[in-house]
């Protein structure tokens, strides 16, 4: 099935492919829909084992010219950008090509402006070259977390209170392009995610339990993830996966709540299995949900 | 020299003494001023080696009744509360006495309400028993960071820009009782402090450099600390010390900026020595300073 506004003759989708499993989930969905995908696998990030099973080209992160040439030759018009991508160093940027060189001053500005600026800037550059940047969720909506509980456990009233408080925090920091995750227990903010990412933040919460700085009973506290307000959903949506549930369990939290329709989930069956086993909830709240009034 | 509104006949100051070196710095200042101090050393937190050199009583954190009785006997009317105090577990609270038992429901509510609530609640309880809670800075103003550069290094224009952005972040999260510190580099938020404390946050920044998630050149980025907006300055002011400079240096930051008059500094001479050696600035900005407009 093709998404309504995407005619099947639009050609395969160019997937600029970072690390992790999401790019392959999306490529599989595009294959099933008959539209097809071509991976532009980023060296150093994309998993070579898995890339080889798809139509693909390897590229360096700064080879914009190479990407434009190959994507046109493949008949791609739509581009999605998916997968983990740790901010590149300038050393990696030394591999830039001519087209990149031309946009380099702008790229540097984006590079230093926070993740939102970086990615919005890349989208604009692609569009100036005649491509259309789509979100992975537009071509494979099944990767998004839906509203309600994913597994058998549901949040208690106290958990919902913590979720509301966490949303207050995310709304307060949202305009500042900081992060997409926060851990709250009994209305006390335990951790705020910034450059370290969700997994490392959860490791920190587990450590705070071990060293006595976070003493709420096991099974107390929530991780809440949501896109930044105004965040462009076409890339860099927050994501969860089986490893997130492992982190929740090790941190002794009650569960994980995410903005439904605004967070992508890797391997949802395994996520549900692990969450049920850990007696943790995985809950999608309406993305318009505010914090406490 | 006695502070203007503190008659010398007000009796010694009762110092409820947590961990770290600040309680002794303040006790020394009170001794020099002729007013004197009695330490109420909290078991498990206060340093027994140093406590023994001062008039003192040992107490458990939840022995409010014992404190009230002894402090009255010592002729204390003014109380200050200083030193690190990791949130006690309920196991530690099992040592509560009768007076504590009477206020326990309230204490539990404060306990779960975030640090501001916890400490504001304790202050109110003391005042209901006829004591006056003062800030350590009121009896020993020399422990506060003053405006300007403490050492030889001053922030560059880029550092000042990062400081302004960090203040924006602190202002945004301030009402939510999260933390008092943030690390910003090139207007990118690298880390936000919550329950882990400043030292652990700086360790995280150092690790983010090692694992490539924070790639700005060495000597880029600032740590900014300020009291939460509306925070009661009588206790729980943010603090810095030689270990903070060690953390700054290991994280490869340009320096450390704090709200002048709102942050206490331990061992300032060593702080300046270490900062100069690390070519890092330690800067006090006016506490009324806003972020970028």
What ipTM does the predicted assembly reach?
0.70
Extract the tokens encoding A281. 């909830």
Q: Which of B146, B140, B144 is nearest to B24 (CA)?
A: B140
Q: How far is B169 from chain A (nearest CA, A)?
A: 7
- The DSSP symbol for B141 reads G
Percent of residues, chain A, with pLDDT higher than 70: 78
- The confidence band for B93, taking pLDDT boundaries of 50, 70 and 90, is very low
In the predicted structure, residue B117 carries a pLDDT above the cut 90: no
HEC sequence for B244-258: HHHHHHHCCCCEEEE
Q: How far is A47 from chain B (nearest CA, A)?
A: 18
Extract the tokens encoding B26. 């303040």
The stretch B136-160 carries a mean pLDDT of 90
Helices (H), B4-156: 22-32, 48-51, 64-73, 90-93, 98-111, 115-128, 136-139
Note whether A186 and A220 are within 8 A (CB).
yes
The stretch B101-105 carries a mean pLDDT of 48
Residues of B whose CB is below 8 A from A213: 86-87, 195-197
Contact between A87 and B194 using a beta-carbon 8 Å cutoff: no
Taking only the tens place, the pLDDT of each residue in A14-69 is 998 888 888 898 899 899 888 899 999 988 788 999 999 999 999 876 677 788 88
- The confidence band for B99, taking pLDDT boundaries of 50, 70 and 90, is low
How far from chain centre, in Å, is Cα B229?
Answer: 15
Nearest CA in chain B to A115: B188
Contacts of B260 (CB under 8 A, 6+ apart): B144, B145, B146, B147, B148, B284, B285, B286, B287
In the predicted structure, residue B293 carries a pLDDT above the cut 50: no
Note whether A291 and A165 are within 8 A (CB).
yes
Contact between A188 and B213 using a beta-carbon 8 Å cutoff: no
The stretch B124-136 carries a mean pLDDT of 82
Residue with more model confidence, B48 or B98: B48
Note whether A169 and B175 are within 8 A (CB).
no
Note the pLDDT of residue B283: 97
Interface test with A, best of B111, B115, B181, B192 (most A CBs within 10 A): B192
Taking only the tens place, the pLDDT of each residue in B235-253 is 667 889 899 999 999 999 9
- The confidence band for B95, taking pLDDT boundaries of 50, 70 and 90, is very low
> From CA B290, how far away is CA B187, in angstroms rounded?
15
Contacts of A122 (CB under 8 A, 6+ apart): A81, A110
Residue with more model confidence, A209 or B175: A209
The stretch B65-89 carries a mean pLDDT of 77
Note whether A222 and A255 are within 8 A (CB).
yes
Q: Could you tell me how many CB contacts below 8 A there are between chain A and chain B?
A: 108
Note the pLDDT of residue B91: 41
Averaged pLDDT score across all residues of chain B: 81
In the predicted structure, residue B140 carries a pLDDT above the cut 60: yes
Note the pLDDT of residue B276: 97
Selecting from B188, B208, B213 the residue whose C-beta is nearest the C-beta of A112 gives B188
Selecting from A90, A176, A188 the residue whose C-beta is nearest the C-beta of B168 gives A176
In the predicted structure, residue B197 carries a pLDDT above the cut 70: yes
Which residue shows structure tokens 């084992």?
A49
**What are the residue ranges in chain A where pLDDT is below 50?**
1-4, 6, 8, 87-96, 101, 104-115, 291-293
Rg (CA), chain A: 20
Q: Is the pTM of this model over 0.80?
A: no
- The confidence band for B121, taking pLDDT boundaries of 50, 70 and 90, is low
Q: Considering only residues 143 to 202 of chain B, which have any Cβ-Cβ distance to chain A shorter than 8 Å?
A: 165, 168-169, 172-173, 175-179, 183, 186-197, 200
Selecting from A178, A213, A215 the residue whose C-beta is nearest the C-beta of B196 gives A213
Note the pLDDT of residue A219: 95
Q: How far is B165 from chain A (nearest CA, A)?
A: 9
Q: Considering only residues 79 to 108 of chain B, which have any Cβ-Cβ distance to chain A shorter than 8 Å?
A: 86-90
- The confidence band for B51, taking pLDDT boundaries of 50, 70 and 90, is very high
Query: CB burial class (10 A; 0-12, 13-18, 19+) of residue B90?
Result: exposed
């Amino acid at each position: 099935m093709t998404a309504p506004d995407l005619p099947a003759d639009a050609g395969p989708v160019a997937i600029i492919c970072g690390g992790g499993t999401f790019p392959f989930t999306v490529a599989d969905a595009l294959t099933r829909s008959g539209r097809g995908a071509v991976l532009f696998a980023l060296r150093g990030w994309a998993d070579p084992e898995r890339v080889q099973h798809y139509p693909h080209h390897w590229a360096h992160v700064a080879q914009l010219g190479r990407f434009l040439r190959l994507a046109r030759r493949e008949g791609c018009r739509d581009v999605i950008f998916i997968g983990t991508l740790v901010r590149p160093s300038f050393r990696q940027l030394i591999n830039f090509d001519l087209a990149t060189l031309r946009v380099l001053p702008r790229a540097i500005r984006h590079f230093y402006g926070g993740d939102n600026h970086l990615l919005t800037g890349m989208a604009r550059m692609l569009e100036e070259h005649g491509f259309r940047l789509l979100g992975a969720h537009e071509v494979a909506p099944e990767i998004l977390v839906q509203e309600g509980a994913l597994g058998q456990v549901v949040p208690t009233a106290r958990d919902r209170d913590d979720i509301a408080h966490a949303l207050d925090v995310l709304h307060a920091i949202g305009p500042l392009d900081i992060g997409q995750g926060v851990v709250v227990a009994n209305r006390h903010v335990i951790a705020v995610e910034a450059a370290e990412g969700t997994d490392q933040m959860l490791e920190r919460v587990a450590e705070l339990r071990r060293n006595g700085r976070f003493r709420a009973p096991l099974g107390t506290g929530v991780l809440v993830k949501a896109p930044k307000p105004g965040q462009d959903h076409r890339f860099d949506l927050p994501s969860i996966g089986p490893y997130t549930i492992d982190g929740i369990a090790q941190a002794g939290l009650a569960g994980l709540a995410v903005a439904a329709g605004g967070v992508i989930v890797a391997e949802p069956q395994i996520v549900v299995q692990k969450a049920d086993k850990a007696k943790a909830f995985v809950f999608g709240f309406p993305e318009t949900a505010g914090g406490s009034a």
